[in-house]
């Protein structure tokens, strides 16, 4: 990072950060409200967890088709339209009187999610000079971290005190304010060279890009095998009360913010080290989770490192993706990345749900750790050698 970003570029970048906060708060809120939502509809936690799985799989299945349909729309119009669809989904979630109504509203949100996370990083790096790209990317991820620091715990607190529906309506209000702000400050950006469906096969011959996708689906499957059921794990295995659970969910967000700072300061100098550590640490920490559950301080320590690890992985591999494709293809490549990441979220939630149903809640760390170990081995044996050969 060098220099200071001018105010006219920082204002829309701040708006993108706020939008990232809103989208990720919405995505992760059901994790913090899983028990309350399940009780509201007289369902088990694993049954209610299918909402998280379906959301993720909708994003996975629609990210590429939606992006191919919308990739040549002017960036400002596409961003504002995506936010408007998101707002409609939040209102629908807050007004849902049945689980099926909630699912339909969440599918609406998932469609907006699919487009937003396809365009967020490519738009952010276009808002600033090339030397400021790592700052722009870290700000987008900062929005995610703040969602976990403030958004998820606040949403959970609102849900506990006045009902989970008010949590979605609270988020709808913030979404409306964000749309108004972006309408005022977001500039019209020069369009990249158009991307056509016929360009897709050529893009997918990129070995680095394919390796990024393979690692991404393994990482997200591993992470969400554990994270999707972290609330019942802490309650039933670590025997924590609501206050401690909310605190530890906040810790995830604070540590994610640290991960964003680590990336923005060290990515350019220690690129390969960050890539290696993000996967090796994930596997090691998951294998420690069951042991750590015996002590609250150990749980907090593991969760801090997990939050840092997840954030470093996310932003580092997005940076690698943007570097390995032409600018005009970045949004489409990112849509596949988002889809694959959410495929992993859905798969991880499904694997974790099966473990919970089988009475193996305490062992979800081992399940996630095995998948993370496969990702780490593939990264060390395939991805890094291919990346280094390209640089030579």
* 311: confidence class by pLDDT, cuts 50, 70, 90: confident
Class of domain 7-193+200-391: mainly alpha
CB 75 within 8 A of CB 189: yes
Confidence (pLDDT) at 1 = 45
Q: Which residue has the tokens 């080290």?
A: 273
| Residues contacting residue 254 through CB under 8 Å, at least 6 positions apart | 145, 148, 149, 304, 307
Longest CA span, the chain: 59
**Domain residue limits, the chain:** 7-193+200-391
Q: List pLDDT tens digits, range 280-305.
A: 999 999 999 999 989 888 988 998 89
* 212: confidence class by pLDDT, cuts 50, 70, 90: very high
CB 120 within 8 A of CB 12: no
In this predicted structure, the answer to whether residue 41 has a pLDDT above a threshold of 50 is yes
Confidence (pLDDT) at 247 = 81
pTM (2 decimals)?
0.77
CB 257 within 8 A of CB 146: yes
Highest mean pLDDT among 133-147, 177-191, 193-207, 244-258: 177-191
Highest mean pLDDT among 193-207, 244-258, 268-282, 340-354: 268-282
Confidence (pLDDT) at 2 = 45
Confidence (pLDDT) at 180 = 96
Percent of the chain with pLDDT over 90: 33
Among the residue ranges 24-28, 67-71, 188-192, 194-198, the one predicted with the least confidence is: 194-198
Mean model confidence pLDDT for the chain: 86
Across the range 374-378, mean pLDDT stands at 96
| Residues contacting residue 103 through CB under 8 Å, at least 6 positions apart | 51, 54
Q: List pLDDT tens digits, range 155-210.
A: 777 877 888 888 899 899 999 999 999 999 998 877 666 666 777 788 878 999 99
Q: Which residue has the tokens 């504002």?
A: 80
Dihedral of CA 46/47/48/50: which sign?
Answer: positive
In this predicted structure, the answer to whether residue 56 has a pLDDT above a threshold of 80 is no
Across the range 355-371, mean pLDDT stands at 91
Across the range 328-335, mean pLDDT stands at 82
Confidence (pLDDT) at 291 = 92
């Amino acid at each position: 990072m060098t220099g200071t970003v001018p105010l006219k570029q920082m204002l829309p970048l701040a708006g993108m950060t706020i939008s990232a906060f809103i989208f990720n708060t919405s995505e992760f809120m059901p994790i913090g409200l899983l028990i309350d939502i399940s009780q509201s509809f007289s369902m088990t936690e694993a049954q209610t967890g299918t909402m998280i799985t379906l959301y993720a799989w909708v994003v996975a299945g629609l990210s590429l088709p939606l992006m191919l349909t919308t990739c040549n729309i002017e960036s400002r119009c596409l961003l504002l339209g995506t936010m408007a669809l998101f707002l409609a989904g939040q209102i629908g979630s807050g007004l849902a009187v049945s689980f099926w109504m909630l699912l339909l509203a969440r599918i609406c949100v998932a469609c907006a999610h699919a487009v937003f996370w396809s365009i967020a990083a490519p738009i952010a790096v276009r808002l600033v000079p090339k030397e400021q790209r790592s700052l722009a990317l870290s700000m987008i991820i900062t929005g995610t971290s703040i969602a976990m620091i403030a958004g998820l715990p606040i949403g959970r607190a609102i849900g506990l005190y006045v009902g989970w529906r008010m949590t979605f309506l609270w988020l709808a209000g913030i979404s409306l304010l964000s749309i108004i702000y972006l309408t005022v400050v977001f500039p019209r950006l020069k369009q990249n060279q158009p991307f056509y469906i016929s360009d897709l096969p050529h893009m997918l011959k990129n070995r680095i890009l394919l390796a990024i996708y393979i690692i991404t689906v393994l990482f997200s499957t591993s992470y969400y095998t554990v994270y999707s059921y972290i609330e019942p794990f802490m309650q039933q295995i670590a025997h924590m009360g609501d206050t401690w659970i909310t605190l530890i969910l906040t810790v995830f967000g604070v540590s994610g913010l640290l991960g964003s700072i680590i990336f923005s300061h060290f990515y350019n100098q220690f690129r390969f080290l960050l890539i290696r550590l993000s996967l090796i640490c994930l596997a090691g920490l998951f294998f420690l989770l069951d042991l750590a559950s015996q002590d609250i301080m150990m749980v907090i320590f593991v969760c801090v490192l997990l939050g840092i690890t997840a954030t470093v992985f996310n932003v580092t591999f997005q940076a690698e993706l943007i570097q390995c494709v032409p600018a005009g293809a970045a949004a489409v490549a990112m849509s596949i990345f988002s889809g694959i990441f959410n495929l992993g979220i859905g798969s991880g939630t499904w694997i974790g749900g099966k473990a919970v149903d089988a009475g193996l809640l305490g062992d979800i760390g081992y399940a996630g750790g095995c998948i993370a170990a496969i990702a780490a081995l593939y990264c060390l044996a395939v991805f890094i050698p291919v990346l280094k050969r390209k640089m030579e």
